[in-house]
């Protein structure tokens, strides 16, 4: 039965038009279960009725004409109860309602089950038969299983299909609202533009070769041309763009290096595969590893690897075929749309025409989102179920604060949107005018704002958004983009560059946070539950040789500078801190002995821990005896407290840092930290959001670490409020019953302060 069900769903997926697919589905179900009728009704929320969309067994003229109210008949009852209804004699049921046009007088047995998705009833699918009988448990189970799969297809088809509909009056396209993840703040209006990505490794069919030497030369030429192309794109961004944005291309240059992907690709060619096929096999392996990781930042690196490799493929084919592959041109003000918008794709789009970005996949950690924020271009990421081709040439309103996208907007909606853009522009001017002023509230509460660095702290700190230092620097990248563990000297060189970028400011480096769901390519780990597995400090303590080399490298890089701070990730027990400190002391003594007799000054860096595992919330007084500072990783802490994987689309809506329980935990942390006189920083996303910054200041946090592009906005906001107001706002939030109620209080407060332009940013 399962095989039959899969076959039916696959057949439906291959039919592009939803109506046609539903008719096919009804016919196949009727045939498979040997019943007299199968019908599908879909919900029309505006009409508050279920509409007969497809049937095999009822009169065909009833399709689209029969409308059954949400509270009417057996169909309405199934929708109301949101569970299957199995009746032997439907016509004797008190909720039975006769509809002459469907011609169902001969049917007695009735089985109906709701089609639901994310708590919404999308429709009802029914079976009917002339016999007086109850449908069997197997038949009922089959229909329930089918309805669950059908719900996803209807949801996707509803979005895709609605974009192609049009009103008959005036041939005006029907407005459609879809939602994604807020990637870059701002509002934009433009016409959808989708670059041509028809040539890609995903669709490439692997081929073998008998001329490996020629294929290696072809691959190297493709890489050389791509390197020049990337250089050109990087230079195009020079004018008026922060240095941290251009550092994004450093990863591209690293991947183009012969010691990175090149070595493995050429080895595949020597094994008998052509250049394109070898590139495909190596890249897809790397991309799969990155996508399997929990850290959203690391997941997004798969996009960069695939994008760069697709460009190499294009250049290989151009060299091989001897002619240039033409690209589509941008005609006017546009919203760039793609399955996965990449950094190079964004750089290619003329800046004077680029108004906004929509990426079907991806998150706010993608390089495209980072670029967009630095460029001031609104972006919505993870806008699933929308095909770029269907947005082509459509007028689009894009809200980078809420993640909402409006396609073919109604006239009055567009007018209101234009007014919002004008209001936002006025606020942006005010923020820029006060960008160099200290972060201090009206009543004298001084805040320190740090940055979270992920790509290259030395250039991020040159971007003019330095803040008080680096609150979090991830050290995983050099480990993950190599075929082996980086040597101690390689790490020293990297860390020294970062520390020297701002020698007068503290730079907090997190020790290696890999393992479990973030395996190194040369150190594979297979676990059933990687989120609760062998990762972070657990892995490095089990392998002190890895931990000691990294600590030694950090200490050596800090010689003569004294601005290093070390932070341990995923701490869950005091014993982990004790053991880590023992190893750090060992490394310090080793480096000190090696430098004895020289003029080099070796200082012992401050040591801190990440608070992201809920167990540490109850051990803070004990932990404070062993460390110099705490840093709250609110992203992971939220996931663990709410038991929600925010990258899982089925439950992502349940992830919210403003859940009263999460706010309560954050409040408890800062109170306990202050009681032990232990400095505490918060480095999760909530620190860089207007709503979050207000609540955190009210809680007692005085050190917020965030992405660099949020510094000026948060600085400006906190200078417009008082500490007393934030404490009062916090009291309302902590006693709220839901995150929606929390936002209601925040929005009302911002309105009273005439800061309504920031309301969208907090929601």
What is the 8-class DSSP label of residue 518? B
Q: How far is CA 571 from CA 542, 566, 603, 631, in A?
A: 14, 13, 24, 11
Residue 582 has pLDDT above 90, yes or no: yes
Span of 285-299, 331-345, 378-392 with lowest mean pLDDT? 285-299
Res 170: pLDDT: 38
Interhelix angle 739-752/660-675, rounded to 10 degrees, is: 70
115 phi and psi angles, rounded to 5 deg: -105, 105
Tokens of 299: 């997941």
Provide the 3-class DSSP secondary structure of residue 285: helix
Measured between its terminal Cα atoms, the distance across the chain in Å is 46
Percentage of the chain lying above the pLDDT 90 cut? 43
Contact 53, 41 (CB under 8 A): yes
Contact 447, 705 (CB under 8 A): no
Average pLDDT score over the chain:
84
Residue pointed to by tokens 């992405």: 707
Active site residue 445: no
Confidence of residue 242 (pLDDT cuts 50, 70, 90): very low
Res 590: pLDDT: 94
Residue 558 has pLDDT above 90, yes or no: yes
The arithmetic mean of pLDDT across residues 516-545, rounded, is: 73
Residue 523 has pLDDT above 60, yes or no: yes
Q: CA 421 to CA 356: how far, in whole Å?
A: 13
The arithmetic mean of pLDDT across residues 169-190, rounded, is: 75
Tokens of 735: 């006693």
Residue 516 has pLDDT above 80, yes or no: no
558 phi and psi angles, rounded to 5 deg: -90, -5
Span of 146-160, 214-228, 713-727 with lowest mean pLDDT? 146-160
Q: CA 684 to CA 662: how far, in whole Å?
A: 12
Res 465: pLDDT: 60
Q: pTM of the full predicted structure?
A: 0.67
Res 761: pLDDT: 40
Angle made by CA atoms 319, 194, 226, in degrees to the nearest 5: 25
Confidence of residue 539 (pLDDT cuts 50, 70, 90): confident
Percentage of the chain lying above the pLDDT 70 cut? 82
Q: Choose, from 367, 439, 659, 726, the residue flagged as catalytic.
A: 367
The arithmetic mean of pLDDT across residues 147-159, rounded, is: 74
Q: CA 64 to CA 42: how far, in whole Å?
A: 10
Residue 246 has pLDDT above 60, yes or no: no
Interhelix angle 660-675/690-699, rounded to 10 degrees, is: 40
Q: CA 28 to CA 42: how far, in whole Å?
A: 18
Q: Are strands 37-44 and 120-129 parallel, antiparallel or unpaired?
A: antiparallel
More confident residue, 260 or 494: 494
Residue pointed to by tokens 């009302």: 748
Confidence of residue 300 (pLDDT cuts 50, 70, 90): low
C-alpha radius of gyration, the chain, whole number: 29
Highest mean pLDDT among 21-30, 113-122, 453-462, 724-733: 724-733
The arithmetic mean of pLDDT across residues 606-613, rounded, is: 96
More confident residue, 21 or 56: 56
Residue 16 has pLDDT above 60, yes or no: yes
Res 518: pLDDT: 58
Which residues fall within 8 angstroms of residue 381, CB to CB, at 6 or more apart?
180, 181, 182, 183, 341, 359, 361, 362, 363, 364, 366, 368, 369, 403
Q: CA 523 to CA 256: how far, in whole Å?
A: 23
Q: Are strands 379-381 and 354-359 parallel, antiparallel or unpaired?
A: parallel
List the beta bridge partners of residue 44. Answer: 49
Confidence of residue 439 (pLDDT cuts 50, 70, 90): very high
The arithmetic mean of pLDDT across residues 87-109, rounded, is: 92
Highest mean pLDDT among 537-551, 698-712, 719-733: 719-733
Q: CA 241 to CA 421: how far, in whole Å?
A: 22
Res 356: pLDDT: 93
Active site residue 367: yes
Q: Residue count of the chain, please give it.
A: 763
354 phi and psi angles, rounded to 5 deg: -80, 120
Res 306: pLDDT: 78
Provide the 3-class DSSP secondary structure of residue 523: strand
The arithmetic mean of pLDDT across residues 481-491, rounded, is: 81
pLDDT digits (tens, 9 = 90+) for 614-657: 999 999 999 999 999 999 999 889 989 999 876 565 676 788 89
What is the number of alpha carbons within 13 Å of residue 599 lying toward its C-beta? 0
pLDDT digits (tens, 9 = 90+) for 30-76: 999 999 999 999 999 888 999 999 999 999 999 999 999 999 999 99
Contact 711, 453 (CB under 8 A): no
Q: Choose, from 659, 683, 726, 745, the residue flagged as catalytic.
A: 683
Tokens of 112: 């109906």
pLDDT digits (tens, 9 = 90+) for 215-227: 888 888 888 888 8
pLDDT digits (tens, 9 = 90+) for 250-297: 556 666 666 667 788 888 889 999 888 888 888 888 777 777 765 656
205 alpha-carbon distance from chain centroid:
30
Highest mean pLDDT among 62-66, 100-104, 529-533: 62-66
498 alpha-carbon distance from chain centroid:
27
Q: CA 551 to CA 540: how far, in whole Å?
A: 11
Span of 54-68, 404-418, 595-609 with lowest mean pLDDT? 595-609
Region label for 410, one of left (φ > 0), alpha (ψ between -120 and 50) or beta (otherwise)? beta
Q: CA 520 to CA 204: how far, in whole Å?
A: 27
Residue pointed to by tokens 């309105």: 751
Contact 356, 186 (CB under 8 A): yes
Confidence of residue 514 (pLDDT cuts 50, 70, 90): confident
Which residues fall within 8 angstroms of residue 555, CB to CB, at 6 or more apart?
564, 587, 588, 591, 602, 605
């Amino acid at each position: 039965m399962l095989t039959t069900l899969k076959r039916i769903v696959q057949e439906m997926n291959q039919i592009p038009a939803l109506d046609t697919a539903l008719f096919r589905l009804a016919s196949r179900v009727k045939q498979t279960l040997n019943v007299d009728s199968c019908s599908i009704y879909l919900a029309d929320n505006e009409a508050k009725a279920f509409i007969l969309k497809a049937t095999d067994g009822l009169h065909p003229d009833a399709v689209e004409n029969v409308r059954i109210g949400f509270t009417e008949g057996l169909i309405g009852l199934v929708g109301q109860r949101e569970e299957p209804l199995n009746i032997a004699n439907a016509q004797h049921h008190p909720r039975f309602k006769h509809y002459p046009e469907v011609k169902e007088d001969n049917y007695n047995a009735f089985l109906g089950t709701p089609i639901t998705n994310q708590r919404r009833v999308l429709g009802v699918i029914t079976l009917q038969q002339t016999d007086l009988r109850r449908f069997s448990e197997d038949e009922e189970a089959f229909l329930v299983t089918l309805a669950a799969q059908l719900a996803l297809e209807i949801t996707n088809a509803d979005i895709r299909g609605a974009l192609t509909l049009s009103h008959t009056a005036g041939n005006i396209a029907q407005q459609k609202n879809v939602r994604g993840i807020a990637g870059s703040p701002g509002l934009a209006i433009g016409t959808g533009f989708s670059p041509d990505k028809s040539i890609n490794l995903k669709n490439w069919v692997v081929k073998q070769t008998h001329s490996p030497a020629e294929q290696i030369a072809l691959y190297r030429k493709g890489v050389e041309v791509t390197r020049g192309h990337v250089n050109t794109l990087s230079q195009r961004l020079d004018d008026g763009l922060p240095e941290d944005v251009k550092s994004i291309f450093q990863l591209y240059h690293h991947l183009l290096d012969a010691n990175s992907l090149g070595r493995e690709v050429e080895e595949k060619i020597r094994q008998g595969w052509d250049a394109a096929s070898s590139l495909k096999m190596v890249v897809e392996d790397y991309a799969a590893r990155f996508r399997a990781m929990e850290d959203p930042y690391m997941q997004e690196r798969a996009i960069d690897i695939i994008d760069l490799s697709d460009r190499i493929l294009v250049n290989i084919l151009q060299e091989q075929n001897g002619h240039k592959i033409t690209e589509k041109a941008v005609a006017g003000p546009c919203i760039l749309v793609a399955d996965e918008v990449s950094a190079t794709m964004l750089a290619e789009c003329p800046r004077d025409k680029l108004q906004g970005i929509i990426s079907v996949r991806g998150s706010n950690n993608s390089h495209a989102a980072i670029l967009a924020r630095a460029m001031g271009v609104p972006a919505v990421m993870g806008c699933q179920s929308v095909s770029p081709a269907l947005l082509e040439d459509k007028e689009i309103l894009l809200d980078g604060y809420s993640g909402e996208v409006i396609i073919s907007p109604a006239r009055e909606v567009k007018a209101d949107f234009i007014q919002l853009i004008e209001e936002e522009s006025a606020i942006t001017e005010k923020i820029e005018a006060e960008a160099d002023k200290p972060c201090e509230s009206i009543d004298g509460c001084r805040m320190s704002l740090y940055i979270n660095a992920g790509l290259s702290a030395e250039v991020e700190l040159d971007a003019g958004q330095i803040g008080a230092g680096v609150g979090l620097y991830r050290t995983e990248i050099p480990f993950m983009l190599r075929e082996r563990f980086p040597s101690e000297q390689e790490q020293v060189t990297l860390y020294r560059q970062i520390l020297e970028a701002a020698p007068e400011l503290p730079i907090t480096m997190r020790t290696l946070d890999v393992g479990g769901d973030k395996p190194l390519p040369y150190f594979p780990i297979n676990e059933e539950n990687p989120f609760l597995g062998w990762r972070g400090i657990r892995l490095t303590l089990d392998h002190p040789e890895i931990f000691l080399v990294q600590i030694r490298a950090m200490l050596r890089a800090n010689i003569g500078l004294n601005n290093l701070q070390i932070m341990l990730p995923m701490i869950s027990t005091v014993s982990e801190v004790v053991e880590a400190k023992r190893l750090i002391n060992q490394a310090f003594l080793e480096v000190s002995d090696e430098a004895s007799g020289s003029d080099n000054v070796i200082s012992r860096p401050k040591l801190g821990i990440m608070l992201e595992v809920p167990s540490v919330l109850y051990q803070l007084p004990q932990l404070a005896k062993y460390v110099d500072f705490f840093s709250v990783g609110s992203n992971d802490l939220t996931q663990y407290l709410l038991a929600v994987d925010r990258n899982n689309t089925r439950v992502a809506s349940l992830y919210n840092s403003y859940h009263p329980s999460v706010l309560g935990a954050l409040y408890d942390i800062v109170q306990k930290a202050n009681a032990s006189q232990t400095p505490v920083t918060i480095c999760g996303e909530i620190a860089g959001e207007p709503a979050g910054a207000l609540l955190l200041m009210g809680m007692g946090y005085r050190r917020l670490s965030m992405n660099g592009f949020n510094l000026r906005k948060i600085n400006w906001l906190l200078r417009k409020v008082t500490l007393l107001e934030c404490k009062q706002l916090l009291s309302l939030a902590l006693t709220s019953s839901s995150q929606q109620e929390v936002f209601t209080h925040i929005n009302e407060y911002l309105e009273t302060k005439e800061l309504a332009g920031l309301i969208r940013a907090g929601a």
